[in-house]
């Protein structure tokens, strides 16, 4: 089951699409997606797991041994500001945004088993949150909503494993 799902996901086209999208957005917003920024964006997109800044640095070192932490953090700052990636605060890690073209109210679903992160629309939750804020006379500026758990694939694998054991 899991293997089939993996096979179905053509990640190369996934990266390509993300890059195209990023380039379009940067052109529109007149932001400069320089080679470094683009490369780090690609590295973030190398899979669907959140990646730490120093993991990125390690990857970049293969191509540019002189790269320094600040290189990574500058690129991350740019990509965050451009809305092209998310920072997962509970992990101090970064993940590509699945829908950068629209300002969306998303919730991150972070799998504790396979570490893959998904992003789903959560407009009504955001409305709910803003309502509660309003009830408390609190002006919302930034929402951080992260859900850790077990994704569908991993859950199915666990079920299968349990069946095999019994």
Per partner kind, with CB cut-offs from 5 to 8 A, the member of a second copy, DNA, none near residue 37 is: DNA
Quote the least distance from Cβ 9 to DNA, whole Å: 26
Quote the least distance from Cβ 127 to DNA, whole Å: 29
Closest CB to DNA among 3 and 66?
Answer: 66
List residues binding a second copy (CB under 8 A): 89-90, 107, 109, 111-112, 118, 120, 122, 124-125, 128-129, 132-133, 136-152, 155
User: Backbone phi, then psi, for 109, in 5-degree steps?
Assistant: -110, 110
Do the Cβ atoms of 129 and 140 come closer than 8 Å? yes
Query: Could you tell me the smallest distance in angstroms from the CB atom of residue 109 to a second copy?
Result: 5
Pick the closest to residue 96 from 115, 109, 77, 80 (CA basis).
80
Q: What sign for the dihedral angle of Cα 29, 32, 36, 39?
A: positive
Q: Which of 165, 138, 25 is nearest to 85 (CA)?
A: 25
Question: What is the nearest approach in angstroms of a second copy to the Cβ of residue 107?
Answer: 6
CA angle, 75 as apex, 72 and 81 as ends, to 5°?
135
| Binds 69: which of a second copy, DNA, none (CB < 5-8 Å by kind) | DNA
Q: How far apart are CA 95 and CA 92, in angstroms?
A: 10
Catalog residues that contact DNA under the rule CB under 7 A.
31-32, 34-37, 52-55, 66-71, 73-75, 78, 92-93
Nearest CB to a second copy, comparing residues 99 and 148: 148
> Shortest approach of a second copy to residue 102 CB, angstroms?
18
Which residue, 88 or 122, has its beta carbon nearer to DNA? 88
Distance of CA 107 to the CA centre of its chain: 11
What number of other Cβ atoms are within 10 A of residue 64's Cβ? 12
């Amino acid at each position: 089951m899991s293997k089939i799902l993996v096979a179905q996901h053509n990640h190369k086209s996934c990266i390509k699409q993300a890059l195209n999208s990023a380039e379009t957005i940067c052109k529109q917003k007149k932001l400069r997606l320089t080679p470094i920024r683009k490369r780090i964006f690609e590295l973030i997109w190398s899979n669907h797991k959140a990646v730490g800044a120093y993991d990125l640095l390690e990857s970049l070192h293969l191509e540019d041994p002189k790269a320094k932490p600040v290189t990574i953090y500058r690129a991350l700052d740019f990509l965050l500001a451009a809305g092209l990636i998310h920072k997962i605060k509970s992990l101090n890690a970064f993940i590509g945004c699945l829908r950068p073209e629209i300002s969306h109210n998303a919730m991150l679903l972070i799998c504790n088993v396979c570490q893959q992160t998904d992003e789903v629309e959560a407009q009504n939750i955001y409305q709910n949150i803003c309502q509660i804020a309003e009830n408390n006379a609190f002006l919302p500026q930034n929402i951080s909503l992260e859900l850790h758990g077990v994704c569908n694939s991993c859950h199915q694998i666990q079920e299968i494993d349990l069946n095999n054991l019994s």
